[in-house]
Amino acid sequence: MSEKTFELPDVGEGLVEAEIVEWKVAVGDVIRLNQPLADIETAKAVVELPSPYAGVVRARYGEVGDVMAVGSPLVVVEVADDVDAAATGAVAAPAPSGRTPVLVGYGVEQDDTAPARRRRARPSAHPAPAAPALAPPPPPPPTVAAPPPGRASDGRAPRSTPPVRLYAKQHGRDIATVVGTGRDGLVTREDVERALAPTVPATGLARVGTGPSSTSRFVGRDIASWRDGPLEERIPVTGVLRSMSEAMVRSAFSAPHAAVWVRVDATRTVELLASLASHAALGGVRVSPLTVVAMAMCDGARHYPGINSSFDDAAHEVVVRRRVNLGIAANTPRGLIVPNIKGADQLDLVAMATQLTELVDRARAGTTTPEAMAGTTLTITNVGPFAVDGAVPVLPPGTGAIVAVGRIAKSPWVVEDRVVVRHVVELSMSFDHRQIDGALASQFIAHVGRFLEDPALALLLG
Q: What is the per-residue pLDDT across 54-102, written as a single tens digit (0 to 9) for each? A: 999 999 999 988 888 888 999 999 998 755 444 444 443 444 444 444 3
d(CA 299, CA 40): 41
pLDDT at residue 108 in the model: 37
Same fold, 1-127+198-254 and 257-461: no
- Provide the pLDDT for residue 12: 58
Output DSSP code: residue 205.
P
Residue 384, SS3 per DSSP: helix
For residue 393, the 8-state DSSP code is P
Q: How many CB atoms lie within 10 A of CB 174?
A: 13
Q: Which amino acid is at 25?
A: V
Domain map of the chain by residue range? 1-127+198-254, 257-461
What pLDDT is recorded for position 264? 97
pLDDT tens-digit map of 104-129: 333 333 344 444 444 444 455 444 44
CATH class held by domain 1-127+198-254 = mainly beta
What is residue 95's predicted lDDT score, i.e. its pLDDT? 42
**Short-list 292, 287, 216, CA closest to 453:** 292
Going by C-alpha positions, the residue among 26, 127, 20 that lies closest to residue 79 is 127
Active centre residues (catalytic): 433
Q: What is the pLDDT along the chain (462 residues), one digit of tens a residue?
A: 899 999 988 765 556 778 888 899 999 999 999 999 998 877 556 678 899 999 999 999 999 888 888 889 999 999 987 554 444 444 434 444 444 443 333 333 334 444 444 444 445 544 444 444 444 445 544 444 444 444 444 445 567 776 677 778 777 788 888 888 887 788 888 788 888 765 444 444 444 455 677 777 776 677 888 777 787 778 777 766 676 677 777 777 678 889 999 999 999 999 999 999 877 777 778 899 999 999 999 999 999 999 999 988 888 899 999 999 999 998 877 778 889 999 999 999 999 999 999 998 888 887 888 888 889 999 999 999 999 999 999 888 889 999 999 999 999 999 999 999 999 999 999 999 999 999 999 999 999 999 999 999 999 886
pLDDT at res. 291: 96
Do the strands 36-41 and 17-23 form a parallel or antiparallel pair, or are they unpaired?
antiparallel
The fold of the 257-461 domain, in CATH, is Chloramphenicol Acetyltransferase (3.30.559)
